[in-house]
Amino acid sequence: MASMSFSLSRFSKLASKTTLSPDFDHSPRRTFLPPNRVSLKISSAIDSEPDLSVTVNGLKMPNPFVIGSGPPGTNYTVMKRAFDEGWGGVIAKTVSLDASKVINVTPRYARLRTGSAKTDVIGWQNIELISDRPLETMLKEFKQLKQEYPDRILIASIMEEYSKTGWEELIDRVEQTGVDALEINFSCPHGMPERRMGAAVGQDCALLEEVCGWVNAKATVPVWAKMTPNITDITEPARVSLKSGCEGISAINTIMSVMGIDLKTLHPEPCVEGYSTPGGYSYKAVRPIALAKVMNIAKMMKSEFSERDCSLSGIGGVETGYDAAEFILLGSNTVQVCTGVMVHGYGHVKTLCAELQDFMKQHNFSTIEDFRGHSLQYFTTHTDLVRRQKEAIEQRKAERRGLKSDKDWTGDGFVKETESMVSN
């Protein structure tokens, strides 16, 4: 389609100033070692730490951990803190042309607990909107951050109403600050859809294709489309976004939810003057859902877009480096963390990196690419699972029945082989 030419045009501009990463390749390159063998691995003083650096759409990051768009990227001070602590990249809170239309309420968060302790929080809901700070203020801070951290990756999250000229103006003004890439918010589940923004676009593939065409015709930096999970088949908007020229997919944004009802007051949470509205659900409890969505997108990308330098940024309930490893095993190039930062702070990235490196050491992985997408090969249909189990049962039965031919006898296993053919 015509929008593909937009991507190719921008791709040639990007190629002149960056070296792009290899094609999206999920072929297995390592064999997982059994735990008992892993534990026997001998280390030496000259062993080097696994390399966490990644190159995504030509953007080089020291590690795959990226601050997800939201409160942790809301102003210069917090984004600077993220870079100082060592995050691989920062995606700023979503901006639009007219911040005066963005009016937040308080309280705007609610938590789901399994007990009374702080560590018992498993779910987090928000009814927060995009940035309520003037666009010009955010643009000045983007520019300042890029001047102070020219080698760090700063990504602007943008959203605009259904207006071609509006999108073009926003992209132009944001790119002038020197940001490295754009993440297009097609997925905010509350507030913004009422203005044909956010999930209202991401849930309508015809509208999504049109807006992606506008965006990719104008943008000169890599574009990631952020997907909503509040849709029947998430691969459909992801496919449309990539076909329309986007270089990457981010998934997932928050899940539409009602956190609960206070059984004393009979009012919903979070409660604002006695009322509430459905909002976005995140944190640990959403991770299994996020993993399934990421797996589906990754398999689609591998099947249909393997010839392009397309990327996938996994989001949803990442609290540990081991959680991140699961997203990477399912094809993610980077892993975004938002609620986890709100719970643990910016310094948590050090723990995330250490845990991811620990996982890599256990399996003798040297780089992220050594295991990215490795586990995709183990997903199949239920019909195929039935077939595989039937064949395995038949094989085990055959083995219990003993040797099929005299040529199968071995010296080492002679006694066991004899016993396998005794009936009593």
| Active-site residue list | 188
Q: 3-state DSSP helix/strand/coil percent for the chain, to nearest 5?
A: 45, 15, 40
Q: Which of 330, 377, 335 is nearest to 356 (CA)?
A: 335
Contact 163, 229 (CB under 8 A): no
Q: Where are the alpha helices (DSSP H) in 162-246?
A: 164-175, 199-202, 205-218, 235-243
**Phi, then psi, of 54 in degrees rounded to 5:** -135, 150
Tokens of 283: 């944190």
Contact 161, 197 (CB under 8 A): yes
Q: Residue 257: which residues within 8 A CB-CB, separation 6 or more?
A: 125, 278, 279, 280, 281
Residue type, 257: S
How is residue 23 annotated by DSSP? P
Query: Computed over its alpha carbons, how large is the radius of gyration of the chain?
Result: 25
Tokens of 17: 């100033």
Q: Residue 111: which residues within 8 A CB-CB, separation 6 or more?
A: 121, 123, 124, 125, 259
Contact 365, 371 (CB under 8 A): yes
Length of the chain: 424
Q: Which of 124, 65, 129 is nearest to 337 (CA)?
A: 65
